[in-house]
Amino acid sequence: MIGKASKISTIVETAKSLLGRPYKYGAVMADAPVNFDCSLFTQYVFLQARVKLPRTAIEQAMIGKRVPFQKIKAGDLVFMKGELGRYNKYFPEGIGHVGIYIGENRVIHSERKRITGKYEDIYRPELIKEEGSVIEEDLVKFIKKKRPLVAIKRYI
C-alpha cells in the first residue's frame, strides 16, 4: 500500500514530467500520456498514484474533501469556472477547468487556447483549431486567468 506522502510525491513528480504535452479537447485515456485536456490530465496523474478520479472536471469536483484556500496543500485540485463551465445543482456557478496544486504557490494544468471555431463546433473538429499544453504557473495568475475559483478539493 502506498502512503499518503508517497502518493502526493508521485502526483507532483508525474505532473512535472508531463510539462509541455499538447492539449487536446475531449481527450480520452487512450490519448494519454501524449495529449491531455485539463480533466484527463488530473485523472491520469492521480491514477499513477493509484487514486481513481472521474473523467470530467465537474465530476471530479463532486468527490473529495472541500479545502479552504488558506489550507491548500500539494496534491489538491483547484477547480475554476474557466471559459466553458459545466453546471449542476452543486456547482451552479459552473466548473470548466481544473489544475493540480504542487506546492510553493504553483499549479500544473493542461491549458488550451482556441485559435478558430466555437464551443458549439465540438462535434465538428474540422472547424476547431486549438493549441496549448501542460504548463506550470503561479497559483494567483492561474486563478486570475481562469476565474472565478469555485472549489479546492483533496483526495488523499
3-state secondary structure of 80: strand
Judge whether residue 14 has pLDDT over 80: yes
So what's the pLDDT on residue 67? 98
Q: Of all residues in the chain, what percent carry a pLDDT higher than 70?
A: 89
Mean pLDDT taken over the chain: 91
Task: Kindly name the residue from 32, 38, 58, 107 that is annotated as catalytic.
Answer: 38
Closest Cα partner for 113 from 138, 143, 83? 83
Residue 8 designated active-site:
no
Q: Give the three cell numbers for residue 8.
A: 502526493
Catalytic residue, candidates 21, 24, 81, 97: 97
**Residues 109 and 100: beta-carbon distance below 8 Å:** yes
Pairing of strands 97-103, 106-116: antiparallel
Whole-number pLDDT of residue 116:
62
For 40-105, strand residue ranges (E) read: 65-66, 77-80, 97-103
What are 62-115's pLDDT values in tens digits? Answer: 999 999 999 999 999 999 997 777 889 999 999 999 999 999 999 999 998 765
Q: What is the CATH number of the domain that holds 115?
A: 3.90.1720.10
Q: How do residues 141-150 score in pLDDT, each as one tens digit? A: 999 999 999 9
* Range from 4-8, 24-28, 106-110 carrying the lowest mean pLDDT: 24-28
Least confident of 3-17, 63-77, 112-126: 112-126
Q: Which three cell numbers stand for residue 122?
A: 465540438
Q: Let me know if 5 is a catalytic residue.
A: no
Residue 145 Cα to chain centre, angstroms: 14
Which residue would you say has higher pLDDT here, 120 or 14?
A: 14
Grid coordinates representing 72 are: 491548500
Give the Cα separation of 140 and 151 in Å (integer). Answer: 14
Whether residue 2 is predicted with pLDDT greater than 90 in this model: the reply is: no
How many domains is the chain built from?
A: 1
Q: What are phi and psi of 115, to 5 degrees?
A: -95, -50
Q: Judge whether 86 counts as a catalytic residue.
A: no
Query: Which range marks the domain in which residue 81 is found?
Result: 4-154
Looking at residue 87, its pLDDT comes to: 86
Q: Which of 24, 106, 109, 146 is catalytic?
A: 109
Confidence at residue 112, expressed as pLDDT on a 0 to 100 scale: 86
- pLDDT, tens digit, 9 for 90 and up, residues 28-49: 999 999 999 999 999 999 999 9
